[in-house]
């Protein structure tokens, strides 16, 4: 019994000692000092963006202590706090908001452990107080910076600094919806650890540089909504890890790349609103992982039956609208069981619309308007009830829907009803009967009220009386 008591006392003592040590260590952690040089550099950097009114006087005991700055994160290095994350802009309700007149101060580059820098909605004036990204000193952050993001800064103008190429540890470069101009610098090709490159929504021009052979770790490439021109670089095919490719809304031209076949992991490809041509390349049907393929509003042309569509069994969104495609809609598209959106409008497609399209279990939008489709729509009543306005088939002059099958509330907009054939004569009428019939009609045409006699004759023949 005494042994058990002694063991219990020992365990209690060890628990108290360990708890005291943990608390002491926690106090030390919370009270860890920040070097004056680091603190001064941080304060000056923040003041450059939010104004000199801010001086950090309400922070205790320092910016990384018990009252930290919203948007600023720190880590311990050799017993001292250093800034690792700096997010400026109205991200949260209590975030630091940017001033009307602001600047990049050189003290920014003295934050030697900075891993992530983000500026959101800071440089908003498009006409007054415009600011350019400084070209110098980025190499000072080469050893630490992993993420650099400037989002929604319309007053941030000028070119991408070529010195960004010195940021050898950078994994994410996002310059989204700013006022930046000029060409994409080839120096970006030196960032071989880059996983995300987003330059969308700016005013970049010129050709896309052939820089991708060294960016094998890239997962996301978004160059959309710019004024880029020329052809796609062949080295895009070396991005075998790529998940998302978006170059939509530019002035790009030329053929679709055969090298697309190497992008086995790609789930989204958006090339819409460009000037691509040359038909559908067979390499597309080897992109088995594709879930979204949007090629609309390009003069690509060619036959839609070129591809084996059943190979793309993961497709959820397929938009081939306004591409100058011809031929009949392939039956193999009906095998894409995950398909939710199918856009084939404004092409030169012909033939009948397969009723098997209505059997796609996930389909909730089908647009085939503006083609030369013919024949009778043979979809079920349930299909029209499910799709409603998400089925578009107007501007197909020879396409019709059957009368009496579809309720008036589900009649497809812009599609005419099918004309029923009127059988004037019974199928068992002989040639002699036909001659006598037409002789009778001819004789009736010279009698008074002949129109009504002829009408009555046709009515009686039609009704089989």
User: Can you give the pLDDT at residue 125?
Assistant: 77
Q: Torsion-angle region of residue 285: left (phi > 0), alpha (psi -120 to 50) or beta?
A: alpha
Asked if the model's pLDDT at residue 330 lies above 70, the reply is: yes
Same domain, 440 and 313: no
Q: What is the pLDDT of residue 327?
A: 97
Are residues 86 and 126 located together in one domain of the fold? no
Which DSSP letter does residue 202 get? S
Does any domain span residue 16? no
Q: Are 37 and 141 contained in the same domain?
A: no
Neighbouring CB atoms inside 10 A of 214's CB total 15
Give domain status of residue 274, yes or no.
yes
Q: Do 98 and 224 have their domain in common?
A: no
β partners of residue 251? 229
Residues 295 and 167 placed together within one structural domain of the fold: yes
Separation of alpha carbons 251 and 225, rounded Å:
10
Confidence band of 97 (pLDDT split at 50, 70, 90)? confident
Asked if 337 and 359 count as a contact pair (C-beta separation under 8 A), the reply is: no
Answer with the one of 114, 134, 149 that is the final residue of a domain.
114
Choose the final residue of a domain: 114, 139, 165: 114
Laid out side by side, the sheet with 326-328 consists of: 326-328, 348-351, 372-376, 398-401, 416-417
| Among 34-48, 112-126, 328-342, 400-414, the least confident range | 400-414
Cis peptide before 233 (omega within 30 of 0): no
The verdict on 266 and 171 lying in the same domain is yes
The rounded distance, in Å, linking the Cα atoms of 54 and 162 is 32
Beta-bridged to residue 245, according to DSSP, are 221, 269
23-78 pLDDT, tens digit per residue, is: 434 444 445 789 999 999 999 999 999 999 888 877 777 788 776 678 899 999 99
- State pTM to two decimals: 0.83
In the chain, what is the straight-line distance between the N-terminal and C-terminal CA atoms, in Å? Answer: 116
Please report whether residue 216 resides in a domain.
yes
Our count of domains for the chain comes to 3
Considering the domain boundaries, does residue 17 fall inside one? no
CA-CA-CA-CA dihedral for 192, 197, 199, 205, to nearest 10: 40
CA torsion sign for 347, 351, 355, 357 is: negative
What band does 411 get if pLDDT is binned at 50, 70 and 90? confident
Tell me which residue range forms the domain holding 439: 431-463
Together in a domain, 347 and 282: yes
- Please indicate whether residue 297 or residue 403 has the higher confidence score (pLDDT): 297
How large is the angle between the packed helices 450-463 and 431-444, nearest 10 degrees?
150
The two beta strands, 196-198 and 220-222, are parallel
> Is 288 within a domain?
yes
């Amino acid at each position: 019994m005494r042994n058990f008591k002694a063991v219990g006392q020992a365990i209690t003592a060890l628990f108290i000692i360990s708890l005291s040590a943990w608390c002491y260590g926690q106090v030390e952690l919370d009270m860890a000092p920040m070097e004056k040089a680091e603190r001064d550099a941080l304060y000056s950097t923040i003041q450059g963006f939010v104004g000199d009114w801010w001086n950090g006087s309400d922070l205790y005991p320092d910016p990384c202590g018990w009252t930290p700055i919203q948007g600023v994160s720190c880590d311990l290095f050799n017993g001292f706090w250093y800034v690792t994350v700096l997010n400026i802009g109205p991200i949260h309700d209590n975030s630091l908001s940017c001033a009307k007149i602001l600047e990049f101060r050189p003290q920014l580059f003295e934050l030697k452990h900075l891993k992530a820098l983000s500026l959101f909605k800071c440089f908003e004036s498009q006409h007054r107080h415009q600011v350019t990204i400084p070209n110098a000193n980025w190499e000072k952050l080469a050893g630490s910076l992993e993420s650099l993001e400037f989002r929604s800064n319309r007053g941030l103008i000028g070119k991408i600094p070529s010195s960004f190429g010195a940021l050898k540890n950078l994994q994410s470069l996002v310059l989204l919806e700013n006022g930046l101009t000029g060409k994409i610098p080839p120096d970006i090709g030196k960032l071989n650890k880059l996983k995300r490159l987003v330059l969308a929504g700016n005013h970049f021009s010129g050709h896309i540089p052939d820089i991708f052979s060294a960016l094998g770790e890239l997962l996301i490439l978004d160059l959309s909504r710019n004024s880029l021109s020329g052809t796609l670089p062949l080295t895009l095919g070396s991005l075998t890890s790529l998940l998302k490719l978006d170059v939509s809304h530019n002035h790009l031209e030329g053929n679709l790349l055969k090298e697309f076949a190497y992008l086995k992991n790609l789930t989204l490809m958006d090339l819409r609103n460009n000037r691509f041509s040359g038909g559908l390349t067979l390499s597309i049907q080897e992109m088995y992982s594709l879930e979204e393929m949007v090629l609309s509003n390009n003069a690509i042309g060619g036959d839609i039956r070129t591809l084996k569509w059943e190979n793309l069994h993961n497709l959820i969104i397929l938009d081939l609208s306004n591409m100058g495609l011809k031929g009949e809609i392939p039956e193999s598209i009906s095998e894409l069981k995950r398909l939710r959106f199918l856009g084939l409008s404004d092409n030169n497609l012909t033939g009948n619309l397969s009723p098997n399209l209505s059997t796609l279990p996930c389909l909730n939008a089908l647009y085939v308007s503006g083609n030369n489709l013919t024949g009778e729509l043979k979809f079920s009543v349930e299909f029209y009830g499910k799709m409603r306005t998400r089925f578009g088939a107007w501007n197909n002059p020879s396409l019709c829907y059957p009368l009496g099958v579809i309720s008036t509330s589900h009649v497809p907009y812009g599609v005419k009803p099918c004309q029923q054939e009127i059988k004037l004569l019974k199928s068992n009428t002989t040639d002699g009967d036909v001659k006598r019939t037409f002789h009778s009609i001819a004789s009736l045409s010279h009698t008074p009220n002949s129109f009504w006699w002829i009408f009555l004759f046709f009515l009686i023949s039609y009704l089989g009386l």
